[in-house]
Amino acid sequence: MVVRLIFAFCLLAASTRSACGFESLDAELLAKRLDAVLEDHPTAQRTTVTLKVVDLESGETLYDRGGNRLQVPASNLKIYTSACALDAFGPDHRFQTIVRADGPIDNGVLRGNLKLIGGGDAMLTSKDLRELAKRVVRELGIRQIVGEVVVDNSRYAPRLKGPGWMWDDEPSYYNMSVTPLMVDFNVLTVKLTPDAEGFVYAKLDPPSSSPELVSVGADGATGNALATRRPFTEPIEYRGDRKLDKPTDLKLTMHDPGPWVAGMFSQMLADEGVNFSPSPRKPSANPSDKTPAREIVYEGPTLAETLKHFNHVSENAVGEVLSHEISLARGVERPDWPAGAKAISAWLIETAKLEPGSFRYVDGSGLSRYNLISADSAVRLLQYLKQSDDFEPFFQSLPTSEVTLDAPALAGARDQSKTPRVSAKGGSMSSVSTMSGYLRTLDGRLLAFSLLANGFIGNNEPVFDLRQQVWRELVRYQP
């Protein structure tokens, strides 16, 4: 009896072009269902929502609702940066950081400065920096420095913030200053620790002589704690509405990270037994008499590994460094943000074949509200990547999301190894929620889509619900 019921259900499903276990949708029916979702969902009533979907196997456009309209992308812009970086450098490329002894080393004494030279490795951490300090002692044999640690950030132009970055995002961790030498994404950790009397001590972790921290204790009955770092454009502080009763970590950015990194590396060298003494004033040596500089080269992770972090964590620092490095690779010396934007925009039009005017690229991460993309330009880029040699590392760099389906639909998938899944990069900021990437249908086909929502009030949970409803329709597509 059960077998007969299942057989009868499958016959009924076949009449509506369905596979046993789930209702399939051809292009015409899919478009009608998507129209209904976007017209009836409460979010779409007051929000500008655009959607474009392409079948990557046939090249057919399955749906296009406002695909040419420009929208603020937020971090969705990171796929544009990722694509160009892969083309410029290849997935196995590693960016370097150099430690150079600018002076002779005699019996363990460096007479000159120890220079940290940034080379565009946005993934360098304080842990990596500590390992570099160990290598200075182990490989260069330095035990004393008659000079100081200096940071060379001359690779990029000195402007540290991108166009359109908002003043009220400072000093949030995602609004870091961008330099060719990045450590911990140029975000420092301040540890606040209260004592029994309510006084709050502030210190940097890892320790550094810069920036200066000022700790202020209990403030009357409220016991407010204040931690301020200097120098900065305005006070950066922690204020509690009640007495701080347990250790608290703050993640803060700084205006100029160079002195912070130099102070941190100096302390790490001191921990390895290196002593410092001031360099005596003396006339400059004849350049022909200089001893060749000795240096240590640290290679960061591969670009493929970097992009995985970039897109999964949505790390803004990576995108901004990559945009500068891409313009360097195009022959620009000491690039600024406009140089990176120009180089990447040219690649998107000339190589990826995006239409001029279908996007505006300003920074590498999407933090600037000056950035604009269209669903059409995003899908065109995804189509280009699917046919390129860089598709696999790009695809692997994308975060994955599950489509919430009922059990019968999942059971009806023809290829159980191709469970419906979305591999896509999202973007969020106030009134913006976007996502572009790839979706695999229940029938195993790969679709490219871009769903952009701008102009809503409140949180983005309703947009997430709309997104799931769209996905539930897309996975049922079957030509």
pLDDT in tens, 72-99: 999 999 999 999 999 999 999 999 999 9
User: Which pLDDT band, with edges at 50, 70 and 90, does 413 fall under?
Assistant: low
What pTM, to 2 d.p., does this model score?
Answer: 0.89
Which residues have a Cβ under 8 Å from the Cβ of 361 and sit 6 or more positions away? Answer: 77, 80, 341, 344, 345, 348, 371
- Structure confidence at residue 434 (pLDDT): 98
- Structure confidence at residue 198 (pLDDT): 65
Work out the percent of the chain whose per-residue pLDDT is above 90.
71
Rg (CA), the chain: 27
Q: Per mean pLDDT, which range of 115-119, 171-175, 350-354 is the poorest?
A: 171-175
What value, to the nearest 5°, has the Cα angle with vertex 50 and ends 360 and 438? 85
What value, to the nearest 5°, has the Cα angle with vertex 246 and ends 266 and 205? 10
- Structure confidence at residue 174 (pLDDT): 92
pLDDT at 6 over 80: no
Indicate the domain borders of the chain. 20-91+303-474, 94-154+259-300, 167-255
- Structure confidence at residue 329 (pLDDT): 97
Top-confidence residue, 92 or 216: 92
Give the whole-angstrom CA distance, residue 123 versus residue 196: 39
Mean residue pLDDT across the chain: 87
pLDDT at 423 over 50: yes
User: Which pLDDT band, with edges at 50, 70 and 90, does 28 fall under?
Assistant: very high
Top-confidence residue, 14 or 311: 311
The CATH class given to the 94-154+259-300 domain equals: alpha beta
- Structure confidence at residue 104 (pLDDT): 95
- Structure confidence at residue 194 (pLDDT): 76
Q: Per mean pLDDT, which range of 262-276, 278-292, 368-382, 387-401 is the poorest?
A: 278-292
Q: What is the DSSP letter of 380?
A: H
User: Which pLDDT band, with edges at 50, 70 and 90, does 474 fall under?
Assistant: very high
- Residue 301 phi/psi, 5° resolution? -65, 165
- Structure confidence at residue 192 (pLDDT): 79
- Structure confidence at residue 254 (pLDDT): 84
Give the whole-angstrom CA distance, residue 165 versus residue 62: 36
Top-confidence residue, 411 or 87: 87
Mean pLDDT across the stretch 120-134? 98
Helix (H, G, I), strand (E, B) or coil at 156: coil
Structure tokens at 339: 């140089």
CA atoms within 13 A on the CB side of 355: 14
Per-residue pLDDT reduced to its tens digit, 145-202: 999 999 999 999 999 999 999 888 877 889 999 999 999 999 989 887 877 776 677 7
User: Which pLDDT band, with edges at 50, 70 and 90, does 287 fall under?
Assistant: very low
User: Which pLDDT band, with edges at 50, 70 and 90, does 290 fall under?
Assistant: low
Mean pLDDT across the stretch 21-31? 87
- Structure confidence at residue 184 (pLDDT): 98
User: Which pLDDT band, with edges at 50, 70 and 90, does 339 fall under?
Assistant: very high
Superfamily of domain 20-91+303-474: DD-peptidase/beta-lactamase superfamily (3.40.710.10)
Mean pLDDT across the stretch 288-301? 81
Strands 113-117 and 149-152: parallel
Work out the percent of the chain whose per-residue pLDDT is above 70.
82
- Structure confidence at residue 235 (pLDDT): 45
Closest CA to 296 of 141, 179, 182, 155: 141
Top-confidence residue, 235 or 322: 322
Give the whole-angstrom CA distance, residue 405 versus residue 24: 13
